Amino acid sequence: MPRGCATMRLMGRDKSKYDLIVIGAGPSGMMAAGRAADLGARVLILEKKKRYGKKLLLTGGGRCNITNAEFDVRAFLEHFPESKQFLYSTFSKFSAKDTFTFFEKKGLPLVVEGRKRAFPETQNAEDVLRVMREYINKNGVEVKTGVRVASLEAKDGKVMSVKTSKDAEYFADNFAIATGGLAAPETGSTGDGFNMLEKLGHTIVPPTPNIVPLTTDESWVHNLSGLTLSFMTIRFIQKGKAKVKKTGKILFTHFGVSGPLILNAAREVVKLLEKGKVTASIDMFPDTQENELDRRILNLFDKNKNKLVRNVLPGVLHEALSEVVLKFPYINLFDREVNSVTKEERKRLVKKIKNLTFEITGTLGFDKAVITDGGVPPEEVNFKNMSSKIYPNLYLLGDILNTNRPSGGFSLQLCWTTGWVAGTDAGTHLETKSPSGIMEQI
Chain residues that interact with ligand FAD, rule: CB under 6 A: 23-29, 46-49, 52, 55-56, 58-60, 64-65, 148-149, 178-180, 183-184, 188-189, 192, 370-371, 398-399, 409-412, 415
CB of 414 to ligand FAD, least distance (A): 7
Beta strands in 198-313 (DSSP E): 205-210, 214-215, 228-238, 241-252, 256-258, 278-283
Give the torsion through C-alpha atoms of 201, 205, 209, 214, to 10 deg.
160
188 or 256: whose CB is closer to ligand FAD?
188
The Cα–Cα gap between 304 and 311 comes to 9
Bridging pattern class, strands 356-360 and 362-363: unpaired
Instruction: Name the residue nearer to ligand FAD (CB basis): 6 or 181.
Output: 181
In whole angstroms, what is the distance from residue 45 CA to residue 35 CA? 13
Minimum Å gap between C-beta 329 and ligand FAD is 38
Q: How many residues does the chain have?
A: 442
Residue of 401, 403, 398 whose CA lies nearest to 376: 401
Q: How far is the CB of 389 from ligand FAD (least distance, A)?
A: 19
Report the 10 Å Cβ neighbour count for 166. Answer: 9
| Nearest-5° Cα angle at 86, 82 to 92 | 120
Helices 319-327 and 343-353, packing angle to 10 deg: 120
Phi-psi label, residue 282: left if phi above 0, alpha if psi -120 to 50, beta otherwise:
beta
Nearer to ligand FAD, 210 or 215 (CB): 210
Nearer to ligand FAD, 139 or 233 (CB): 139
d(CA 235, CA 73): 31
Minimum CB separation from ligand FAD for residue 199, in Å? 13
Residues 6+ apart with CB under 8 A from 368: 184, 209, 212, 213
Q: Which is nearer to ligand FAD, 83 or 189 (CB)?
A: 189
CB of 407 to ligand FAD, least distance (A): 7
> b or e along 318-351 (b: 16 or more beta carbons within 10 Å of the residue's beta carbon)?
bebbbbbbbeeeebebbeeebeebeeebbebbbe
Mark 277-303 as b/e (b = at least 16 C-beta within 10 Å): ebbbbbbbbeebeeeebbeebeebbee
Q: Which is nearer to ligand FAD, 174 or 189 (CB)?
A: 189
> 337 vs 380, which CB is nearer to ligand FAD?
380
Shortest distance in whole angstroms from residue 59 CB to ligand FAD: 3
User: At closest approach, how far in Å is the CB of 187 from ligand FAD?
Assistant: 6
- The distance of closest approach from Cβ of residue 362 to ligand FAD in the complex, given in angstroms and rounded to an integer, is 18
Question: What separation in angstroms does the CA of 13 have from each of 8, 57, 140?
Answer: 9, 36, 16
Q: Which is nearer to ligand FAD, 141 or 297 (CB)?
A: 141
Q: Is residue 170 within 8 Å of residue 73, measured between CB atoms?
A: no
In the complex, minimum distance from the CB of residue 224 to ligand FAD, in angstroms, rounded to a whole number: 23
Q: Which residue is nearest to ligand FAD (CB)?
A: 188
The helix (run of H) or strand (run of E) holding residue 89 is: helix 84-93
Query: At closest approach, how far in Å is the CB of 293 from ligand FAD?
Result: 37
C-beta of 53 vs 224, nearer to ligand FAD: 53
CA separation for the pair 394, 431 (Å, rounded): 17
Whichever of 60 and 120 has its CB closer to ligand FAD, that residue is 60
Residue 418 three-state SS: helix
Nearest distance in Å: CB 63, ligand FAD: 7
Judged by beta carbon, residue 309 or residue 414, the one nearer ligand FAD is 414
